[in-house]
Each structure stands twice: as structure tokens, then as C-alpha cells.
Amino acid sequence: MCLLSYCATHLEPHQSTPALMRHRLIQPVEDLESRICKIHHQPLDYVCSNDQNILCYECLDRDHKNHNTVKLEVWMKTKLDQLKYSQEKVDELIRQRQEKIIDLQNSIQTGKTNVERAQAAGRQCMRR
């Protein structure tokens, strides 16, 4: 298992050298130590729903066997999907509110026009 985080230049051997192609690589991060279990020195690849913790395989196997756990990538995709859904709902609410604002502005304008007509008609009546 390769625990190094490489840039594109350093990634090339992992894509072309057979011995390195078996390495499981992660996205480059600034603080790689934050992605490694401090106890077992393994990648943090799992999420425990019960405890809301990120775990390595050893932690999962020892302390979280009977908990609801999922691969970190799956958990992240689920969370991203939930965020997208929430964003869509918020966008729809904003659109509805904007339509209501436009309707209210139109109603205000119609009301002003009606007032102006009534005032003009009142002035016409007073002149007669």
C-alpha cells in the first residue's frame, strides 16, 4: 500500500510500472497525516454511522464490527447527492419567491395605476 500523495509528475510511474500499479492511490492532499489512522497507520477509508467517525480497516474490524459502516467514497457520494438535492430544493424555493416578488411588484404597479386613474377621474369630476 502506497501512502504517499503524488502530483501528476510523480503519479506517472504508478500508472506505468507493474509493481506500482497495484498501489491504491488517493487524491493529493496537503496534510496526508490527517488521512491516516494515528493508531494503525492505515488509510482512513470507512465511516461509522453509529459514531460518526472516520476509520481505517483495523479500527473497523476491532471496534466497529457491529456498527453501520460504509466506505468513505460511498458516504461522500451519498452526502454530495443529498447536498445537490438540497441545493435544488433551495433553488426552487428561491425561484418561487422571486416569482412572488414579481407578482407583488406587478400588483403594486397595478394598484398605483388604478389610484392614478381614480385621482384623474376625481379631478375630472371636480372640474365639471
Q: Does domain 36-127 have CATH number 3.40.50.11260?
A: no
**pTM of the predicted structure, to 2 decimals:** 0.59
| Closest of 3, 25, 1 to residue 12, by C-alpha | 25
pLDDT tens digits, 40-52:
988 888 999 898 8
Domain spans of the chain, in order of start: 1-35, 36-127
117: enclosing H helix or E strand: helix 72-127
Residue 17 above 70 pLDDT? yes
Q: What is the pLDDT of residue 89?
A: 98
Confidence at 4, pLDDT banded by 50, 70, 90: low
Query: What's the rounded mean pLDDT across residues 1-24?
Result: 72
Q: How high is the mean pLDDT of the chain?
A: 87
